[in-house]
Amino acid sequence: MRLQPTTGICSPALALAAVLISGPPSFAASQLQVPSGTASSATSQLQVPSGRPLVRQALDYLRDTEEQTIADQIALCEVPAPPFGEVARGEAYRQRFEALGLADVRIDGEGNVLGVVGSGEPLVVLSAHLDTVFPAATDVAVRRDGSLLIGPGIGDDCRGLAVVLAVARAMRGLEIEPVGTIVFVGTVGEEGPGDLRGVKRLFSETLVGQVDYFISVDGAGRSITHAAVGSNRYEVTFSGPGGHSYGAFGMPNPIHALGRAIAKIAEFPLLSDPKTTFSVGIVEGGTSVNSIAFETTMTVDLRSEDPTALAELDALFRAAMHEARAEEIARWDSAVDLQVDIVSIGVRPAGDQPRSAPIVQAALAAAEELGFEAPTGASSTDSNLPMSLGIPSVTIDGGGSGSGAHSLDERFDTTDSHLGAQWALLLALTLAGIGVP
């Protein structure tokens, strides 16, 4: 797999000069070598600082204050944040940043909420997304049943938001100063229709050219997303004059053309390595049972872990849409034309980084220090954008366990959920470094 070239946005170094933390590493695997050929020296290291007394205090603090983290998770989830309607939750998040005493608390032009700890290098972003998939009228009340929290968005991504807050609270409460800078962020537009508009603004304007590492905390569990599944999404419309199903019979039919198009999509070649997928999600159109439709529309989702494979699938898709139009016109001896319009409704760039990448190894090492193994894999998250730009990025889960994401009965099990906040803290400090003691 290939990383897309960094163009249009200033790219930071893949790692800075040595981020060395005094004191012995807790185990040998915690020293993570930066591959040669990057802008940094090959001798640069990252060390998991779990043995440092202040870090141990912070880890204990996060375990002991998990109920506060859960309370934040519930409270934020009960503030509606539908697609393109994250303002109220963003304001609630901003107020919490200010109450914790973060520096430079602000909301950028897209609606992302930011707060800062530290002022040196490297700059690490620790983020979670504010938005949900649910429409504005959704009942977002959260129910609690023993260890279970039940409510739309409670795991995805109210858990991530609460974890980011918990890390900031631990750092401020224990006066932990990083060697570098940690920017805490609540992003907008991570979910489908948002098209990653929050992180797109971060890397094109708000923090352009400044970010050295990017961590997203998204959902429940203890896994790592180290590769970005890219997607191209389209709305395809076939249109014509329409008419009576009997009286005007013999003209090209937009719905028939759409059917031809769907059949072609269904027969696209299957590619498993890299995994590449295609799907028609929504079909709309028509006037009545006894009418030739004048317009019909479908939405299409194309995905791959590999940018080249995605581009090839995209070209195949576009050709198939025009072939479907031509075949429907050719079916009839008619002067009536048929149009097809292909409109992009979302682009999530694909990207990859090896499991051996320092940031991935740092996430794995931090998990090991906390006593669990973290599986790695590919997904579509806020990390897609920085990863496609060559910026070291991972998405980690927020601890606990979950089920029913994107459903009204989404569930989050709080059993041992404190491990998620501990993991995020340890990874952020591994990347940013920590001062004394």
pLDDT at position 192 is 87
Q: Which of 326, 348, 370 is the last residue of a domain?
A: 348
**CATH code where residue 236 lies:** 3.30.70.360
What's residue 255's pLDDT? 98
Looking up residue 147, the CATH number of its domain turns out to be 3.40.630.10
Q: How much is the pLDDT for 20?
A: 23
Residue 17 in any domain: the answer is no
Range of the structural domain that residue 387 is part of? 28-228+350-432
pLDDT at 26: 28
69 and 159, same domain (yes or no):
yes
Listing DSSP states for 261-318 in one string gives HHHHHHTSPPEETTEEEEEEEEEEE-S-TTEE-SEEEEEEEEEESSHHHHHHHHHHHH
Angle between helices 307-331 and 254-266 (to 10 degrees): 140
Q: Are residues 207 and 270 in the same domain?
A: no
Burial class (CB in 10 A: 0-12, 13-18, 19+), 392: buried
> Residue 367 carries which side chain, given as an amino acid letter?
A
Same domain, 148 and 281: no
Q: Which of 323, 348, 373 is the last residue of a domain?
A: 348
Domain termination site, one of 348, 377, 398? 348
Q: With a cut of 70, which residues of the chain have pLDDT below it?
A: 1-45, 436-437
Tens digits of residue pLDDT in 80-119? 999 999 999 999 999 999 999 999 999 999 999 999 999 9
Res 14: pLDDT = 27
Give the pLDDT of residue 46. Answer: 85
Pick from 300, 291, 304, 290: nearest CA to 341:
300
Distances (CA, A) of 221 to 146, 355, 374: 18, 19, 9
Q: 143 and 279 in one domain?
A: no
Residue 12 in domain: no
CA distance 224 to 424: 11
Residues 282 and 316 in one domain: yes
**CA–CA gap between residue 155 and residue 112 (Å, rounded):** 20
Residues 168 and 128 in one domain: yes
Q: How many domains does the chain have?
A: 2
* Residue 15 belongs to a domain: no
Same domain, 357 and 343: no
Same domain, 211 and 246: no
